[in-house]
Amino acid sequence: METIKYKGFIGSVEVSIADNCIHGKILFINDLITYQANGLDQIEQEFQEAVEDYFETCKELKIDPLKSFNGSFNVRVGSELHQRLALNAIEKDKNINSIVKKAIEKYLDKSKPVSEVHNHHNTFDESKFSTPGIST
């Protein structure tokens, strides 16, 4: 699905071959607002008009036009994957939420590496690593 943006709103753009039109809906709102056009050159204008009309209606009714996200959602991963994740979290002294959050960040922003820095201090006895013919 393609998307378009206008004044902080995001809309879908889909093709209906059966209806011979392009249509979409405003995403991430608490209502269902749709729009359609006969061509690509018209769909953005129809979307913008739908946004303007919806925004004015929300203003008149004194309601927030955008859907709010609370930062919490349920994910069904199956019992085996859940158990593997829980074990991995314990072994790495992490919690499941932090692992899932990091995985989502990495998935959504591949240009921004999500990584951890580990510093290791190693010591060794030089006498055990001497090379014949080379003195230390």
From residue 92, alpha-carbon distances to 74, 85, 122 in Å are 23, 10, 21
pLDDT digits (tens, 9 = 90+) for 70-95: 999 999 999 999 999 999 999 999 99
pLDDT digits (tens, 9 = 90+) for 20-71: 999 999 999 999 999 999 988 899 999 999 999 999 999 999 999 999 899 9
Question: Are residues 77 and 105 both part of a single domain?
Answer: yes
Question: Are residues 16 and 57 both part of a single domain?
Answer: yes
The pLDDT assigned to 65 comes to 94
The label of the residue with tokens 């006498």 reads 127
Task: Flag whether 101 is in a domain.
Answer: yes
Question: Are residues 82 and 56 both part of a single domain?
Answer: no
d(C-alpha 22, C-alpha 8), whole Å: 22
Q: Is there a contact between 11 and 27 (Cβ–Cβ < 8 Å)?
A: yes
The pLDDT assigned to 49 comes to 98
Determine the structural domain holding residue 38 and report its residue range: 2-61
What residues pair up with 24 in beta bridges, in sequence order? 35
Q: Whole-structure pTM over 0.85, yes or no?
A: no
